[in-house]
Amino acid sequence: MPFIETGDGTRLFYKDWGSGRPVVLIHGWPLDADMWEYQQPALTEAGFRTIAYDRRGFGRSDQPWSGYDYDTFADDLKALLDRLDLADVALVGFSMGGGEIARYMARHGGARVSRAVLVSAVPPFLLKTADNPDGVDPAVFAGMIEGLKADRPHFLANFAKTFFGVGVFSSPSSSELIAWTGDLAMRASPKATVACVRAFGETDFRADMGRFTVPTLVIHGDDDQTVPIGVSGKAAAAAIPGARFVVYEGAPHAVPFTHAARLNEDLLAFLGR
């Protein structure tokens, strides 16, 4: 299996398909690169070189005890782009993967990147604070951590229902597909799974938003119960210079699955077939 090594010696697994202009797909929590089940084949068949990698601690990548913060994640992304010597790169980040893009644009000046896409992404700042009153109550993240530590499989099975909008959204996703995402989630280390809740829940990306200097597409479902659109997608689109904002009406968090065909079309239109 192909791996690159980061600055601290952590090996990251990646899938590198096709040829053409590169598109790097950054997965969400608590999944891994395989979550791009519908996007990576479609983009590759459309003539792009697609690279999807497992974040440290997840999937087939190494599971170190440390490094679960967005500065390190951005450095890991840089290591991937540098090691593969990619240029004219489009970054596509889902959920917490959007945080990697935001921090990379600020920390590494957007080197090698020509376009960015945030899908159901966590920036600019999820946590409710005095200066972010519409954010998510800290008790929500504390409860997630408590649930993960007590019974991770049970917590993740229930989390998937909210993720897919089960009971709220008329999801085309089968019970088998939803169960499969739970299998992906359980490949991650318990340390990474818990630490990343703190990372995506508490990291403030507001200062990073102005560092987007490339065409940027923001896509978000307006019935997202996992990452609420008002504090995330809507706020990110307003803060990123020139960003294009596309709202998926009635869509839950899991749009790469529930709205796969529409997302693929929007990605292809934005990236240029």
165: left (phi over 0), alpha (psi -120 to 50) or beta: left
Catalytic residue among 54, 224, 232, 266: 224
Cα separation of 142 and 8, whole Å? 29
Q: Is 253 a catalytic residue?
A: yes
Q: Write down the H helix ranges in 2-137.
A: 39-45, 70-83, 97-107
Cα separation of 90 and 224, whole Å? 25
Catalytic residue among 95, 120, 171, 232: 95
**Cα–Cα nearest to 34, from 6, 74, 1:** 1
Cα separation of 187 and 32, whole Å? 9
Q: Is 134 a catalytic residue?
A: no
Q: Is 189 a catalytic residue?
A: no
Cα separation of 186 and 220, whole Å? 26
Cα separation of 55 and 28, whole Å? 9
- Measured from the Cβ of residue 154, the count of other Cβ atoms closer than 10 Å reads 11
Catalytic residue among 27, 220, 253, 259: 253
Q: Which residues are catalytic?
A: 95, 224, 253
